């Protein structure tokens, strides 16, 4: 009996150990984004780890066939309790998600992996070629423009302010850390983030460019792309781009400015019934990019005597519509400079010193048409010179040379505009006859009339004489009194802005209406957000750095604004900010958004007026 009992106990132990080993498991599965059945090159897809009854976390994979690793993190957990005959048992499971980007076409296999001594299954997946007309759109706003710029000058590194640290920061770059005076450089500010959603990005001030002339470029990112920085993958976007021209030699600095960024932070918690859950939590961060230092070299010596001041790549051309003229009649010759660089600072030689003395030349004001692009400023400068032939004859208009410095070659280069030979016929009058006509006068003296009188009343004895002084003095006093009253009424700038908040908001709404008529979607939502946030900041006297949904809601409630009107305003702001960063196909209909903006501001103004009347 004893031997049988021992065999029974051993059998039970082996059975229990087998059940325990069976309960601990690791299961791999593959999912594609947005319910797509196939995975194309450039798509995001996921491999999920289901780890049951194992405390140990799986190792981060270093290589996945045919794909690039974007993220690997725990995305969920759950636990189960059971009670049998008063004995309670617990089992638990963890979910880990491996986010991947397909980069190679073919049939691939991943796994098995081992977690806590337990081996998983392996999974198979196929990656096909992405359709040519379909852009790379991922569930996390992937794809977008190339970041551009160079990382040759990282300065002191990113500065983290508030809660930015490694989850969200800005990085400033300049295209070259060493440059010549007046050479075009590209300054960019790139956002790095791991947060789920970015709702608002606003600069509190512009960067400080010490010793630079600045042209702001509109060529910034319209969507996010992924980049690995210091071993960690971030969603990135270029949020500012400037073309800068150094104006002096030496070490010049660019000081980064502070940006306010509103994001959604994912907050995880465990619910006894539903298991692992997460909710988005609004978070506002203040971040500043790194400062940069640029070594500016002087232009090579010797500088040519006829140097135009241009640094870049330029060409000059000339245009003279006719070659036959008359003396003392004005004509014009047009010189056009085209190219890229500091176009606004290009000067032509003194044409009075080049042209024949018989041609009088008048210097014009150049008409510059400049386009601020991705890497430089390009366009044209038009110089329309008027000249007047003073004598009849045949004269030569010489060719005009434009000497500029090309930073790509490091040399001074010359572009030449063609010259002309003109024929001048005799006009209606010579220069001498015109001069005599202008200086001629009638030397005959004015005769004395018979209406002179010896009886004369001085003006000082007349009322009109004194009114001539009294009226201006009274007007001056009236203007002074009015000006003092105006200064008193406008001494409190915050109060003035609060009174004019509705007027300013409606002006911005007019700009949004113009963008809506032109079908300019992103500028429309920019103007709508500027109108709504600007109205709230001015009306409630809240500084830009403190302007967020919590402060606005609390302040409006304190002022006695009804909750439904507050909710309408906040919901409209949320919709505009969501539409700004949503795909283009979801934000085409702008008319309802504009009408809601007009109604919300009008209702808010009516509420403030009603509260003011009730206080009286």
Residue 128 CA to residue 306 CA, distance in Å, equals 62
| CA separation for the pair 371, 335 (Å, rounded) | 19
Rounded Cα distance, 98 and 65, in Å: 13
Cβ–Cβ under 8 Å, residues 570 and 549:
yes
3-class SS of residue 166: coil
Averaged over successive runs of 10 residues, the pLDDT of the chain (616 residues) comes to 46 42 76 68 86 88 90 77 64 85 91 90 83 36 34 41 63 90 91 81 82 88 83 86 91 89 71 62 84 92 91 93 87 92 89 87 85 86 89 90 93 93 80 45 59 70 83 91 77 65 82 87 86 84 81 86 87 84 67 87 85 78
Closest CA to 128 of 68, 66, 64: 66
For the chain, what is the total number of helices (H) and then of strands (E)? 10, 31
Instruction: Output the pLDDT for position 383.
Output: 92
Q: Is the peptide bond before 290 cis (omega within 30 degrees of 0)?
A: no
Q: What are the residue ranges spanned by the domains of the chain?
A: 21-128, 168-297, 309-430, 465-489, 500-615
Q: What is the pLDDT of residue 31?
A: 81
The distance from CA 479 to its chain's CA centroid, rounded to whole angstroms, is: 44
pLDDT at 159: 43
> Residue 76 in contact with residue 54, Cβ under 8 Å?
no
Terminal Cα-to-Cα distance of the chain (whole angstroms): 100
- Predicted pLDDT of residue 275: 55
SS3 assignment, position 42: coil
The topology (CATH level 3) of 309-430 is Immunoglobulin-like (2.60.40)
Q: What is the pLDDT of residue 413?
A: 93
b/e for 579-590, b at 16 or more Cβ within 10 A? bbbeeeeebeeb
What is the torsional sign of CA 528, 530, 533, 539? negative
Cβ 538 vs Cβ 547: under 8 Å: no
Predicted local distance difference test score (pLDDT) of residue 401: 92
Confirm whether pTM is higher than 0.75: no
Q: What is the pLDDT of residue 36?
A: 59
Q: What is the pLDDT of residue 152?
A: 38
pLDDT score for 313: 93
CB-based contact 425:393 (threshold 8 Å):
no
Among candidates 606, 594, 612, which has minimal Cα distance to 506?
594
pLDDT at 18: 40
Closest residue by Cα to residue 220 from 177, 263, 190:
190
Q: Could you give the CA distance from residue 287 to residue 171 in angstroms, rounded to a whole number?
A: 10
- pLDDT at 512 (0 to 100): 86
pLDDT at 606: 85
| Residue 323: alpha-carbon gap to chain centroid | 50
Instruction: Tell me whether the CATH fold assigned to 21-128 matches the one assigned to 168-297.
Output: yes
Nearest to 604 by CA among 549, 562, 544: 562
Q: Is 254:187 a contact under the CB 8 Å cutoff?
A: yes
Asked if 565 and 604 touch (Cβ cutoff 8 Å), the reply is yes
Q: Which CATH architecture has domain 168-297?
A: Sandwich (2.60)
Pairing of strands 331-341, 377-389: antiparallel
Instruction: Give the model's pLDDT for residue 139.
Output: 32
Task: List, as one string, the DSSP characters of 261-320.
Answer: EEEEEEEEEEETTTEEEEEEEEEEEEEBPPPEEEEEEPPPSSPPTTEEEEEEEEEEEEE-
CATH code for the part of the protein at 21-128: 2.60.40
């Amino acid at each position: 009996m004893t031997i049988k009992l021992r065999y029974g106990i051993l059998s039970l132990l082996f059975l229990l150990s087998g059940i325990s080993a069976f309960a601990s498991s690791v299961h791999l599965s593959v999912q594609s984004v947005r319910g797509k059945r196939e995975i194309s090159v450039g798509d995001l897809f996921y491999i999920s780890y289901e780890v049951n009854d194992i405390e140990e976390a799986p190792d981060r994979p270093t290589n996945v066939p045919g794909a690039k690793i974007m993220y690997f993190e725990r995305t969920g957990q759950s636990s189960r309790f059971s009670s049998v005959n008063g004995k309670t048992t617990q089992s638990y499971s963890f979910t880990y998600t491996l986010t991947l980007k397909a980069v190679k076409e073919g049939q691939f296999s991943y796994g098995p992996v081992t977690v806590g001594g337990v081996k998983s299954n392996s999974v198979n997946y196929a990656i096909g070629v992405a359709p040519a007309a379909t852009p790379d759109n991922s569930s996390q706003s992937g794809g977008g423009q190339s970041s551009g710029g160079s990382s040759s000058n990282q300065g002191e590194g990113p500065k983290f302010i508030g809660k930015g640290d490694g989850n969200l920061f800005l990085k400033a770059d300049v295209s070259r850390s060493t440059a010549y005076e007046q050479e075009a450089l590209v300054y960019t500010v790139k956002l790095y983030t791991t947060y789920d959603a970015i709702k608002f990005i606003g600069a509190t001030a512009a960067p400080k460019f010490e010793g630079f002339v600045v042209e702001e470029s509109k060529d910034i990112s319209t969507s996010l792309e992924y980049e690995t920085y210091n071993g960690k993958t971030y969603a990135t976007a270029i949020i500012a781009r400037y073309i800068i021209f150094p104006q002096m030699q030496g070490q010049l600095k660019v000081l980064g400015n502070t940006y306010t960024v509103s994001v959604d932070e994912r907050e995880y918690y465990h619910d006894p019934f539903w298991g692992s859950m997460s909710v988005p939590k609004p978070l506002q961060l203040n971040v500043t990019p790194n400062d940069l230092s640029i070594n500016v070299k002087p232009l090579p010596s010797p500088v040519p005597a006829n140097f135009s001041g241009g640094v870049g790549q330029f060409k000059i051309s000339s245009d003279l519509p006719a070659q036959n003229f008359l003396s003392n009649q004005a004509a014009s010759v047009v010189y056009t400079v085209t190219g890229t660089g500091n176009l606004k600072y290009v000067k032509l030689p003194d044409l009075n010193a080049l042209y024949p003395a018989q041609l009088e030349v008048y210097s014009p004001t150049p008409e510059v048409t400049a386009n601020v692009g991705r890497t430089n400023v390009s366009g044209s400068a038009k110089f329309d010179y008027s000249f007047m032939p003073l004598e009849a004859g045949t004269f030569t208009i010489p060719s005009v040379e434009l000497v500029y410095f090309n930073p790509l070659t490091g040399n001074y280069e010359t572009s030449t505009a063609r010259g002309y030979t003109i024929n001048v016929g005799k006009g209606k009058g010579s220069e001498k006859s015109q001069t005599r006509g202008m200086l001629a006068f009638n030397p005959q003296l004015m005769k004395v009339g018979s209406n002179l009188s010896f009886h004369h009343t001085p003006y000082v004895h007349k009322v009109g004489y004194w009114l001539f002084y009294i009226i201006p003095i009274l007007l001056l006093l009236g203007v002074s009194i009015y000006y003092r009253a105006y200064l008193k009424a406008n001494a409190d700038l915050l109060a003035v802005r609060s009174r004019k908040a509705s007027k300013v908001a409606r002006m911005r709404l007019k700009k949004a209406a113009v963008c809506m008529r032109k079908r300019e979607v992103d500028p429309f939502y920019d103007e709508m957000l500027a109108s709504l946030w600007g109205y709230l900041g001015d009306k409630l006297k809240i500084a830009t750095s403190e302007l967020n949904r919590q402060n606005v809601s609390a302040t409006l409630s304190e002022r006695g604004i009804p909750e439904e009107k507050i909710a309408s305003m906040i919901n409209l702001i949320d919709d505009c900010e969501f539409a700004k960063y949503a795909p283009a196909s979801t934000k085409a209909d702008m008319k309802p958004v504009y009408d809601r903006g007009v109604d919300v501001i009008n209702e808010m103004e009516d509420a403030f007026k009603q509260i003011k009347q009730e206080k009286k």
